[in-house]
Structure 1
Amino acid sequence: MNPLQDRIEIVDGRPIVKATGQSVDDVVRRLEGGEPTVKVAAGQPLDLIAALAFAALGDDSSEGPSLVQQPPGRPRLDEALSAPELGRLFPNAPRVAILALSAGLLQIHDFWEPSHEAAQEADDLGERRFSAYWHAVAHRREPDPGNASYWFRRVGKHPLFPALAEAAAPLLLEYGDDRLTARLTGTGAWNPSAMIDLCATAKTGTAQAGLARRLQRLELGLLLAATAEAASD
């Protein structure tokens, strides 16, 4: 269901970019070393985005990023995730699409402040489809539930919500809380307000927190894939 994740395969226990055979670790190492994104991508920009997504989100067994912002685990990646570098990777994309993509990549790699700034700039320039969603996620992870709710109201009925509800169904079924399932997906689409409440109340180390992180991982992966697709159109 996630086209970015489909670009990665596990070979001998290592995540590999299918099209190039390059390992995700090598992609990240080269970017951390300062190589330009265009050079590392070698003409396959979405493969590079897929590698960066996997580095932050992991595979389906991973819980993904924490519910609350943390210091970046790979602090030398900040330049590679910036709008100028991504603009070189997608030279035909509008600036607002690049800013939204930068906001997403920076957010999943825990560069909270620059992610927030990129989302705000994209919104100021009139982009609503993805920047408002990344802005809402930033405030949910800040954590500032009230501000997150404001931005999700600006998001409105996002086209991602039905797909997210469908993707979340197996996790919710496994967890076995019918009331929570009804709150999150009872309308057949994702309820971001219920997700804010779940993230705000889940206690670290509990099964509920583990569920919230796995749901967030799904959400971030699908949102990043859609944001990247918009930049590559």
Structure 2
Amino acid sequence: MKEDFAFKPDIYGQAFLELLKEKRLNPLGPGSPNIKARSALNKLTIHKAFAPHEVIDTNMANACLAAVWLYQDFLQESHNISQTIHTQTGSYWHGIMHRREPDFYNSKYWFHNLGEHPIFEPLRIGAAQLASNSNAHKSTEFISKQSKWNPIAFIDLCEACIKGHLPCEMLCRQIQQFEWKLLFDYCYWKAIKR
């Protein structure tokens, strides 16, 4: 993954573009499903989503489908897909969904299962940049100083924000969104092996 990553929805094809063109900064919690997107999501199949490309890795393609349901705040629908993907990346999407549910214990379980993921390093770098550019609470200093991404510490930080113990919700939401973009991009290109 490149350090200068920029998320551009138009590079993922028309079907994904329709579902990703609306900029969203998802809440740390479950949010409210974007009912306007339900019809397009229901019609989305791997074949339609990736056309004209041939899908080489069905697990990664399904991970992209789980991701767009999550992006539109349909957590249960995302969960229905991610729990069937028995890979490291499937565990990652599963863990994100439970973090947002919020079921922090379950989220930690899935993050423990996945181990080191290829997006962790660009996520660590991007999160550090976001943290250094914010006026966040001193409890977020570890984000700028960690030598490797710690998803469990991030879950704890999100939990503290949701429970109202720390005033760093906006930073956590920005990091969560960056994480989503990195992971979606990773899954998309792995699905078509580019």
- Bin for the TM-score computed over the shorter chain: 0.7 to 0.9
1:77 aligns with one of 40, 62, 71: 40
Q: Equivalent residue for 2:90?
A: 131
CA distance in 2, matches of 1:185, 1:90: 38
Q: Equivalent residue for 2:177?
A: 217
Q: Shift of residue 186 of structure 1?
A: 3.4
Change (3 A) 1:96 1:176: closer
CA distance in 2, matches of 1:144, 1:89: 38
Secondary structure at the aligned position of 2:30 is classed as coil
1:11-90 aligned at under 5 Å gives the runs 17=10, 45-46=12-13, 48-50=15-17, 52-55=19-22, 58=23, 64-73=25-34, 74-83=37-46, 85-86=48-49, 90=53
CA distance in 1, matches of 2:137, 2:84: 39
Per-residue displacement from partner, 1:69-112 (whole Å, max 9, x unpaired)?
A: 12321322322445464366643333212211111111111121
> Which of structures 1 and 2 has the larger relative contact order (alpha carbons within 8 angstroms, sep 6+)?
2
Q: Which amino acid aligns with 1:210?
A: M
CA distance in 1, matches of 2:47, 2:13: 16
Please tell me whether residue 171 in structure 1 is matched to residue 130 in structure 2.
Answer: yes
% same residue: 26
Per-residue displacement from partner, 1:15-58 (whole Å, max 9, x unpaired)?
A: xx4xxxxxxxxxxxxxxxxxxxxxxxxxx744653553342xx2
TM-score with structure 1 setting the length = 0.69
Change (3 A) 1:51 1:221: farther
Q: Shift of residue 150 of structure 1?
A: 0.3
Please tell me whether residue 93 in structure 1 is matched to residue 56 in structure 2.
Answer: yes
TM-score with structure 2 setting the length = 0.82
Secondary structure at the aligned position of 1:121 is classed as coil
Please tell me whether residue 160 in structure 1 is matched to residue 127 in structure 2.
Answer: no
Q: Which amino acid aligns with 2:177?
A: R
Aligned residues: CA RMSD? 2.6
The question of whether the paired residues in 1 share the 8 Å contact of 2:75 and 2:97 is answered with yes
Q: Which amino acid aligns with 1:225?
A: D
The question of whether the paired residues in 2 share the 8 Å contact of 1:145 and 1:200 is answered with yes
Query: Can you give the 5+ residue segments of structure 2 that lack an aligned partner in the other structure?
Result: none
Bigger CA radius of gyration: 1
